[in-house]
Chain A
């Protein structure tokens, strides 16, 4: 079969697009490589045990560590988890149990909207509800901000994973005379639990790197503190 010029051109176009697509992947991975290289090459020398255990030295003096910031991050994500996980998982249960209800659609939409709200705006919200009334910056306010950011992620992951549990599980439980809540808490939720836990960890990883809302929710404390207020 002989190829006409037209066919050859079609082949060439196809080839060119394939090359472009492969090049895009490479292009996207370059910044990843550069960022990782930069952070590791610049940061590794400072990564000694003291970095985790000592306080920052005054500006200009070498040495010191980031112990306060490490503890601060841990406290904040702990608080955020305490706030977001119970609310998020129960909401996810509601969404997967009552998929077609009007409230369900509204909540699903609200969760997606909330997921897109810029963190800085959530920071303002946390400032208004958790800083202004008490007239001071607190770890609690930061926890509220991060919790609000985690919430939509946990709601949607829980819903997704509960939907993946086969219907027969629920039918079996209901056939044995279980109430709906019993079926959810003892059969369906445990079946989806490993995935939900992974989802929570991913949400945690995402908010642990959040910066903007912390600027005016928890403020910058250069000192060591484990107090929440």
Chain B
């Protein structure tokens, strides 16, 4: 009787849990089905063509893929040193009284909705960026990296907003990793006469897979970020190396054009961009999870969930 009951329990909860799997597969299936016309018509050329002309029915996703990768990598470049610095400070250096408040504040940064970052970006950050761009000396502006008119909106503003948004994520996961490094590692270094930084470097090295995982988790966030980027990047589908040029990202074009896609091919092209974005983020997230799982069996939680878990423990 009891055995029967246990089996029923396993079966029923298992079915519910499987629904999470079903949803992920369902998302993949709807994306493929919804982009079928575009996949069949353009094939691989969709990924490499620069023309995005809804009126002529010509769709190429290269500018969006370029813009997404460019802005995300720029954000990563800006945020990683700072995120690691924060993680080290909070894990090793901070005075005990300051630690909890600082952890709370950095995680508050992760809880601000992206639309609020977008508004702040448009009204505060973009004018500052424009002023910086105007101040750029002429000889620098001949470089492809800084060419183009100083508009304010553009790649640089998007990279900055994204960097602010992903920093708390990477920092919080990296801090968890540093905390998970056995104390004996640092103690051994100190016993050998290491300075603080030398001991920390050892801990960073010990947790290197996890640290890379933390950074990639930030990358996954940056790739999919929509609204804040849409508001500051300038929304111009072009492939440009310039930080000053207004560009476009995959998520932004979906947000802007989805509701006005008049014909089926247009809609399918947009959904295919969503499919590409889905695949890209799954690959990045899966990689980061595998790296993180290798470090510790203890699950590293998403920052937004971390405080209550700690409180309950």
Chain A residues in contact with chain B, CB under 8 A?
10-11, 13-14, 17-18, 20-25, 27-29, 31-32, 34-35, 38-39, 42, 86-87, 90-91, 93-95, 97-98, 103-104, 106-107, 109-125, 127-129, 148, 151-153, 155-157, 159-161, 164, 177, 179-181, 184, 192, 194-195, 198-199, 201-203, 205-206, 208-212, 215-216, 219
Interchain CB contact under 8 A, A155 and B20: yes
Using a CB–CB distance below 8 Å, which chain B residues touch chain A? 2, 5-6, 8-10, 13-14, 16-21, 23-24, 26-27, 30-31, 33-34, 81-86, 88-90, 93-94, 102, 105-106, 108-109, 111-117, 119-120, 123-124, 164, 167-168, 171, 195-198, 200, 217, 220-221, 223-227, 251, 254-255, 258-259, 271, 274, 277-278, 281-282, 284-286, 289, 299, 301-302, 304-305, 307-309, 311-313
> CB < 8 Å: which of B120, B198, B274 contacts A35?
B120
B274:A120 contact, CB within 8 angstroms: yes
Which A residues are in CB contact (< 8 Å) with B24? 110, 113-114, 117
| Interface pair B302/A153, CB less than 8 Å apart | yes
**Contacting pair A27 B197 (CB below 8 A):** no
Q: Is the CB of A113 within 8 A of B304?
A: no
Nearest residue (CB) in A for B165 is: A31
Contact of A206 among B5, B6, B13, B304 (CB under 8 A): B304
The interface residues of chain B lying within 8 Å CB-to-CB of A115 are: 285, 302
How close is A101's CB to chain B, nearest CB, in angstroms?
8
Do B197 and A112 have beta carbons less than 8 Å apart? Answer: no
A104 to B299, CA, bound (A): 14
Residues of the A chain whose Cβ atoms lie less than 8 Å from the Cβ of B311: 195, 198
Q: Which of A203, A210, A215 contacts B259 (CB 8 A)?
A: A215
Q: Is the CB of A120 within 8 A of B301?
A: no
In the complex, chain B residues whose CB is within 8 Å of the CB of A24: 81-86, 89
Query: For the complex, what is the distance from the CA of A30 to the CA of B113, rounded to whole Å?
Result: 17
Besides A31-B109, A114-B27, 14 other A-B contacts (C-beta < 8 A)? A22-B93, A28-B82, A39-B116, A91-B17, A116-B217, A121-B31, A153-B302, A153-B305, A159-B299, A177-B2, A180-B10, A181-B5, A199-B309, A219-B259
